[in-house]
Amino acid sequence: MAALMLSSGAAYAQTKMTIGFSQVGSESGWRAAETKVSKIEAEKRGVELKISDAQQKQENQIRAVRSFIAQGVDAIFIAPVVSTGWDAVLKEAKDAKIPVVLLDRSIETKDDSLYLTAVTSDTVYEGKVAGEWLAKETGGKCNVVELQGTVGSSPAINRKKGFDQVVAANPGMKIIRTQSGDFTRTKGKEVMESFIKAEGGGKNICAVYAHNDDMAIGAIQAIKEAGLKPGKDIKIVSIDAVPDIFKAMADGEANVTVELTPNMAGPALDALIAFKKDGKQPPKWIQTESKVYTPETAKAEYEKRKDLY
Ligand code: GYE
């Protein structure tokens, strides 16, 4: 028995594990960092990571997952672009006995045996804590324009939900415009331009709530071009904590961000290896930390992160 266990352990150590990772795309600075960190974390553990870029399309992700199954990979990571429509392909992975780990976005399914675990932050909390900061800062009186993330994605749904809870509790807070900017800088800028136009030049807007920093950075540009001061005339509240938002904060052009770690792969790999090696069942949700940052520490935070991104 002991010999048997030893030989299976040795076999584990010898065979290099191969994981297929269906990544969303490269829509944001945070996403690029996540891809980079995933490669580093896989290499640290001697795991071969095959990354497939879905260019923000679920159909590409489904195709990639099917191809990983056909290749017989040891596990599959998916950062699911939208939250619905996964059951069929996840069932195929399950039938092939290939464990699936979800990274940074969650899915809606009635059957949670279709994935091993999900490594994500509490995205409802992120929206809530961003809203609470703004409510406090403005004495609960603020006309907000909202830049939503990708339609149908779990962070867009949940970051809206969390922020809406704060709006509901503060009668003087209102979301006067809301639209998706697809988590990108370009669309964030475009949508903000249209908000400013629709609001007669933007003087009526008290704050931008952007579901990620990249859209906030696009909005900052639009505000400046409209002759207003971001961070002062219009407050900027967002999520991710990428280096560029710290730069904006240090320059007085942004007010608060909520950190989302780009290291989702590290905890995912640890859980997967413990599962494969020792049969240890991970919890269904491995939660990463969400921390609030304001301008006081922006310079130092920028320095800490600039090389990682
Ligand atoms: O906040 C955003 C990205 O899925 C939680 O996706 C993630 C989000 C992140 O593109 O920048």
Q: In what order do the strands lie in the sheet with 48-53?
A: 48-53, 18-23, 75-78, 100-103, 117-121, 285-288
Q: Is 155 close to ligand 1, i.e. is its CB under 6 Å away?
A: yes
Q: Is pLDDT at 12 greater than 90 in this prediction?
A: no
Residue nearest atom 10 in ligand 1 by C-alpha distance: 28
Q: Which residues are CB-neighbours of 8 under 8 A, at least 6 positions away?
A: none
Sequence letter at residue 112: D
Q: How many CB atoms lie within 10 A of CB 118?
A: 25
Q: What is the DSSP letter of 264?
A: -
Q: Is 28 close to ligand 1, i.e. is its CB under 6 Å away?
A: yes
Q: How confident is the model at residue 10 (pLDDT cuts 50, 70, 90)?
A: very low
User: What interface predicted TM-score (ipTM) does this complex get?
Assistant: 0.99
Kindly give the distance from the C-alpha atom of residue 30 to the centroid of ligand 1, in angstroms, as a whole number. 7
Hey, is 257 helix, strand or coil?
strand
Q: Is 262 close to ligand 1, i.e. is its CB under 6 Å away?
A: no
Kindly give the distance from the C-alpha atom of residue 212 to the centroid of ligand 1, in angstroms, as a whole number. 7
pLDDT of 5 reads 47
Q: How many CB atoms lie within 10 A of CB 150?
A: 24
Interval 172-208: pLDDT, tens:
999 999 999 999 999 999 999 999 999 999 999 999 9
Q: Which atom of ligand 1 is nearest to the CA of 183?
A: 10
Overall average pLDDT of the 222-242 stretch: 98
Give the position of tokens 């995205």.
123
Q: Which atom of ligand 1 is nearest to the CA of 121?
A: 5
Kindly give the distance from the C-alpha atom of residue 100 to the centroid of ligand 1, in angstroms, as a whole number. 20
Residue nearest atom 2 in ligand 1 by C-alpha distance: 212
SS3 content of the chain, % helix, strand, coil (to 5): 45, 20, 35
Start-to-end C-alpha separation, the chain = 48
Q: How far, in Å, are 17, 21, 43 from residue 50 at the CA level? A: 11, 6, 12
Contact (Cβ atoms closer than 8 angstroms) between residue 218 and residue 188: yes
Q: How far apart are CA 225 and CA 219, in angstroms?
A: 10
Q: Is 105 close to ligand 1, i.e. is its CB under 6 Å away?
A: yes
Pocket test for ligand 1, best of 22, 23, 27, 31 (most atoms within 8 A of CB): 31
Who wins on pLDDT, 14 or 134?
134
In this prediction the pTM is 0.95
Interval 150-175: pLDDT, tens:
999 999 999 999 999 999 999 999 99
Q: Write the burial class of residue 97 (CB in 10 Å: 0-12 exposed, 13-18 middle, 19+ buried).
A: exposed
Kindly give the distance from the C-alpha atom of residue 151 to the centroid of ligand 1, in angstroms, as a whole number. 12
Q: How far apart are CA 65 and CA 73, in angstroms?
A: 10
Q: Is 126 close to ligand 1, i.e. is its CB under 6 Å away?
A: no
